[in-house]
Amino acid sequence: MMPNSVLDIRDERFLAVVESDAALEVIADGFKFLEGPIWHPRDHHLIFSDIIGDTMYRWLAGQGTSVFRRPSHMANGNTYDRKGCILTCEHATSRLTRTDPQGRTEVLASHYQGKELNSPNDIIVKSDGRIYFTDPNSGRNEPYGVARPQELAFQGVYRLDPQTGKLTLLVDDFEKPNGLCFSGDEKLLFINDTVRQHIRVFEVGQDGLLSKGRLFAELSGDGVGVADGMKVDCAGRLFCTGPGGVWVYDQKAELLGRILVPRQAANFTWGDADMCSLYITASQTLYRIRVKNAGQPLF
């Protein structure tokens, strides 16, 4: 089927994801490079990062955009933990931080085996409270970070136990690990690689460690963009930014279609009262599009 102005339909089942006449709405514009959107399921606001602008913003319907934190240490990925604290990946400092609802911030991780982390990028929290994050070297280069030598010899994926502070290296054979997300039952962990332009999937053991990694999908197509932000909706479909916009796969890794975005889509999250609006951070612009299935609230 031929794409319309917003949808690139590869399978008719894609119309169960988004209406054929769906439209992208510009929510905010004029930034430098947006990332890390997270929706607060109770206060109904959006927090997102402008990496190059060194600022985190809050957007609230009817009030618009305001500064949440400046400087942000070139924050990239964000998420909420189970207590509603914001977890943030900082490119400029190579730190993982936690900010409580009162605005108090503490450092959760900055080093592995005595060496600085590369630059934490994307982050998620399992239902048991353990934190998983990717650590490529993107933030050690301009303009998305501060130019400085890399101390670690690899670009890894980690698990952090916030109770003990123990940092566990899970995988170290990615060329540039970026987005990651769990399946709905948390038995699988999806991780993509920006350079290799593919998604891998791992089984998650009861101990939280990973095994049986395999290739899930490859993203190759027209349009600007790379494998980056990634999440699963309540129906188990995998959404991942890539060339041209947001790619949507079923649980068998069959591509259903793409939501086409005019600018480089880096990340996204579900929001609004019904969790059926997809907020997309794309370079200088924050977009919104309505979808038919809700995303999973972060806490």
**Average pLDDT rounded to a whole number, residues 140-167:** 97
pLDDT score for 188:
98
**Average pLDDT rounded to a whole number, residues 240-258:** 98
Does residue 163 have a pLDDT over 60? Answer: yes
pLDDT score for 5:
77
The answer to whether the pTM exceeds 0.85 is yes
Instruction: State which amino acid sits at residue 12.
Output: E
Asked: is 7-290 a CATH 2.120.10.30 domain? The reply is: yes
**Average pLDDT rounded to a whole number, residues 183-204:** 98
Does residue 4 have a pLDDT over 90? Answer: no
**Average pLDDT rounded to a whole number, residues 250-275:** 98
pLDDT digits (tens, 9 = 90+) for 69-108: 999 999 999 999 999 999 999 999 999 999 999 999 999 9
Q: How far is it, in rounded angstroms, from Cα 188 to Cα 213? A: 10
Domain ranges of the chain: 7-290
pLDDT digits (tens, 9 = 90+) for 168-182: 999 999 999 999 999
pLDDT score for 2:
39
